[in-house]
Amino acid sequence: MINEKVDEALVACDDAITFYEVNYAIVKIRPRKCVREGSLSYMHLAHVRWLIRETHVLPASQLEVKRQRLWFVQGVLWACGVCSLSDLRKMNEPSKEE
Average pLDDT over residues 37-46: 61
Q: Is the CB of residue 66 less than 8 Å from the CB of residue 6?
A: yes
**pLDDT (tens digit per residue) in 5-31:** 999 999 999 999 888 877 776 655 555
CA distance 22 to 69: 24
**pLDDT (tens digit per residue) in 46-70:** 889 999 999 989 999 999 999 999 9
The whole model's pTM is what?
A: 0.77
The pLDDT, as a whole number, for residue 72 is: 93
